[in-house]
Amino acid sequence: MFKDRTFQNKIDSKKSKEEKRIHDQEHTQWNRRSFIQALGLAGGGSMLLGGSAISATAPSPLAVALAENENNNILVIIRLEGGNDGLNTIVPIYDYATYANLRPTIKHLESDLINLNADFAIPNYMSELEAVWGDGSMKVVHGVGYQNQNLSHFRSTDIWASTDDIEIEPTGWWGRYFEDLYPDYITTPPEIPPAVQIGSIGNLIFKGNNSNYAFSVVNPDQLQNVAENGTLHDVLDIPDCVYGDKLLFMRATANTTCIYSGVINDAYLAANNSVEYGDGELASQLAIVARLIKGGLGSKVYMVSLGSFDTHADQQARQQELLMDLSSTIKNFYDDLASTGMNDKVLSMTISEFGRRPYENGSNGTDHGAASPVMLFGPALNGSDFVGTHPDLSTWDDNDNLIPTTDFRDIYHTVLTDWFCLDPSIVSTILLNETYENLDLGLACETLSTSDFSNTSRFAHVPIYQNNQTFIEINMPNSAHVSIKLYDMLAREIGTITNEYLNAGRHTFNVKDTIKGRLSYGQYIYRISTGGQYYSKSIISK
């Protein structure tokens, strides 16, 4: 028995050595660190493709336009998820009788209101915004929405994110901004996360054609973990085998936020909150955001979520809880930023997919509606005021909803133009080549560039999956030499899809045919080089 066991141990030892030899051979030119870097998950380094470190060279005209106009201003988007009831947030006391008649049960009593001016008031449980208003750091835009309001939470949320209320647009307004700023994002990401998003996972706002440009977590607890420990998913305590390599890949690609865990941790530890926040849902999010801003993270946009405001029943108690959180947190947030003099560099704005009906329903609530106010906060507004015209409480659309008086994209246009100082031609591109109005929000832009970028052109590329085959389609605005190379997820060059001079227009390449059938099913990366600029995207070979 003993001899048999000894003999078996020798066999096991030989097998173990052979398995180790094979494993080591697999890792001769690749290890976990380079694998993480290759996926863009270890800081802002370049991806190692074909054995050579590469990075973007001459940027496109639009990327130049964006880069030269960049400033240090920050936007915080506060999503009031579910559709906030605007009439019970900003109460139209100029027509209080009509308001009260529409809402006999859920109306605010006049004695329970705080007047911001002679025409509009807030409920007294939002009293902490009275000081913000008095400091000249709040503006309210009346009747915000779009024509023919879609009353679906999902579709209307997508419309606010994509800016397209007619067609199904798969990208968001900030996704398009960052996509033009970082066209080679997948292989050469910037050193800091372009945006940070808490909640609203799946929202289109930061999605481009090629990537999602936000460091995204489901809730503030996840971001707190990243901020305190510098990691979200464990990519170190993984089995040292091929299975472990696959596990690492799945964890890393499932949560691309790991790319910036280190810099977020550094920024968080470099600052502290100088005020005591409450324990509300929004308070926990903006307390972290304040530390990241004060700690010098450098991200341009943050999006946080508060909700749900979908108050079909028992609206009074639920909305009060949420709006109290909003009011106290905004006050604390700007007091916190003021301790380091950063409050004038941060603009905050609320968004909500729609408002509510002007009249209450039979469940002491309100149903899906249309126009609703957008609130903006920050000293950069240079004075508190109301912007635009309030919807007529007695004039409704065919769905019994208030009629919008301000297009929500006018606010986006104004923020991009007057807060981020972008040339109008760039803003038009970001907003799907539509023209919108600039609102008087009191923002004073110090122009960083006077170049004319009105002639910027767009190079487009997209993978197409059809008839169980994979294609790459590119649109050339001008004739130029184009090289497209394919790499596997270990950053090894597989082959060249094309390397030729192409005329202006649309060109389609069958990936498997051009690589001569050497591809197995799985994920790859293609990289395009043309005109001194790189573009990259992941792709699935079918």
Mean pLDDT of 417-423: 91
Distance CA 48, CA 37 (A): 8
Q: What is the pLDDT of residue 374?
A: 98
Which domains are present in the chain? Answer: 32-61+455-541 (2.60.40.1930), 67-400+417-430 (3.40.720)
Distance CA 168, CA 461 (A): 19
Distance (Å) of CA 176 to CA 181, 255, 428, 531: 9, 21, 11, 21
Q: What is the pLDDT of residue 269?
A: 93
The interaxial angle of helices 220-229 and 281-294, nearest 10 deg, is 30
Q: What is the pLDDT of residue 516?
A: 75
Give the range among 83-92, 151-160, 243-252, 439-448 with minimum mean pLDDT: 243-252
Kindly report the number of other CB atoms within 10 A of residue 129's CB atom: 22
Mean pLDDT of 117-125: 98
Residue with tokens 């004038």: 344
- Per the structure block, which two tokens stand in for 414? 């104004």
Residue 173: is its pLDDT beyond 70? yes
Q: What is the pLDDT of residue 58?
A: 42
Q: What is the pLDDT of residue 22?
A: 41
Q: What is the pLDDT of residue 494?
A: 86
For 341-378, what is each residue's pLDDT tens digit?
999 999 999 999 999 999 999 999 999 999 999 999 99
Residue 83: is its pLDDT beyond 50? yes
Residue 387: is its pLDDT beyond 70? yes
**pLDDT band at 90, cuts 50/70/90?**
very high
Which has the higher per-residue pLDDT, 113 or 428? 113
The amino acid that residue 377 corresponds to is F
Q: What is the pLDDT of residue 539?
A: 82
The DSSP-derived string for 353-384 is S--B-SS--TTSS--B-S-EEEEEESGGG-S-
**pLDDT band at 493, cuts 50/70/90?**
confident
Task: Assess contact for 267 and 43: CB atoms under 8 A.
Answer: no
Mean pLDDT of 2-26: 44
DSSP secondary structure code for residue 419 in this structure: I
For 254-308, what is each residue's pLDDT tens digit?
444 456 888 899 999 999 999 999 999 999 999 999 999 999 999 999 999 999 9
For 196-212, what is each residue's pLDDT tens digit?
999 888 899 999 887 88
Mean pLDDT of 165-193: 88
- Element of type H or E holding 141: strand 138-145
Q: What is the pLDDT of residue 45?
A: 33
Which has the higher per-residue pLDDT, 445 or 81? 81
Distance CA 534, CA 417 (A): 28
The pTM assigned to this predicted structure is 0.77
Give the range among 199-203, 291-295, 411-415, 496-500 with minimum mean pLDDT: 199-203
